[in-house]
Amino acid sequence: MDSINNLETLVRLFVRVAAVSGIHVGTARQSYRALPYTTSGMLNWRNPVELQTLPLPPFARVGAIGDGNCMLHSILFCLSPTYRTLDYDGRQFIADVWRQALIARMDDLKDQADFVYAEIGGWGALEESFDRLPTAKKAKRRELDIEMAPLITRLYGHNCLAIQITTSLLLEPVVITFKSFDPTLPTVLINYLGGSTNFGAGAAASFFKSGHYEPIVASIFSRKATTSSSEVRHRRTITAAVATAAAAKAAKKKAPRVTLRRLKGPLYILDDAHTQYTVIGDDLEPVLDMFREAAAVQAAYVHPKGL
């Protein structure tokens, strides 16, 4: 199990093991609420998941569970169709079990670090980052440092590039993830919110404040999802409030004050057949241009040969 190098195969195995062990892993049809590009903050990952189109079409970032495993959740979202069908508890189960599998492959991760970060001393320069991988209890999950992301995805045949959204809504590449980039491999894209607090879901009390990660995909909506019950109730409330105000006006009475939450728009589902969860070739060029430009101005950075 520990040496399986296809993450989707590994996730399916985890699901089968859970079934044999009597552990329920539920599924859910995920819908998304699209947000305008007006915030760099953490996106909601539950009820419903938020998705925000970036100023680099057709890329968008998607809310990821913020439980201390958000880097793993982000990678799983990009690399495992099975993971994307699971409900909240199922996704947490898969991320926890996968983390244990990664701990068992610590030597493989160190080999990757010796290659990717050779110029700074390999894995020996990242001991603190590696120390964050083991975790004794689920309630004590520790979020992984950004330099671990490319090492983890390389075990499964992918690059990983991270970007940050500044408070002024500019996109900035996290250049360390560009080291030893392999243009022949597909690429996982993630958004890195360094030092962010837990705005995504108040129930996730185990989230650590050292950072947060979200997957970035080339998203395509297929159609609107079924209108949620909360939106139906909200629209009924609006209709009732309008009728009450009209009746009061007709009777020349003061209309009662009604405070309504702002309706945030319809829910959508993603077209799995056309949404790109990983990117390769010409489709990645706009992203690579950002990294090449940033790498060129960093004197300490050794540009990968051939890029």
Residues of the domain holding 104:
7-222+266-296
The single residue listed with the structure tokens 């089968």 is 16
Say whether both 250 and 110 belong to one domain.
no
> Based on the structure, what is the number of domains in the chain?
2
Backbone angles phi, psi at 272, to 5 degrees: -65, -30
Indicate if 259 and 149 belong to the same structural domain: no
Confidence at residue 208, expressed as pLDDT on a 0 to 100 scale? 37
Q: pLDDT tens digit string along 140-197?
A: 788 999 999 999 999 999 999 999 999 999 999 999 999 999 999 999 999 999 753 3
Q: Distance (Å, rounded) from C-alpha 157 to C-alpha 173?
A: 21
pLDDT digits (tens, 9 = 90+) for 2-19: 567 899 999 999 999 999
Domain co-membership, 246 together with 201: no
Both 142 and 232 in one domain: the answer is no
pLDDT in tens, 113-137: 999 999 889 999 999 999 999 975 5
Which residue, among 82, 74, 85, has the nearest Cα to 160 in the 3D structure?
74
Residue 138 in any domain: the answer is yes
**Secondary structure of residue 182 in the 3-state scheme:** coil
Same structural domain, 260 and 274: no
Helix extents (H) in the chain: 7-20, 70-79, 81-84, 88-104, 106-116, 127-131, 148-155, 229-250, 285-296
Distance of CA 216 to the CA centre of its chain: 7
Looking at the structure, tell me whether residues 70 and 188 fall in a common domain.
yes
CATH of the domain at 110: 3.90.70.80
- Please indicate, yes or no, whether residues 154 and 130 belong to a single structural domain of this protein: yes
According to DSSP, the residues that pair with 103 across neighbouring strands are none
pLDDT for the residue 223 = 63
Residue 230 structure tokens: 């909360």
Residue of 84, 83, 98 whose CA lies nearest to 144 = 98
DSSP per residue over 14-67, as a string? HHHHHHHTT----B----EEEE-S---SPPPBSSSEEEEE-SSTTEEEE----S
**Claim to verify: residue 100 and residue 213 sit in the same structural domain:** yes
Q: Are residues 250 and 282 in the same domain?
A: no
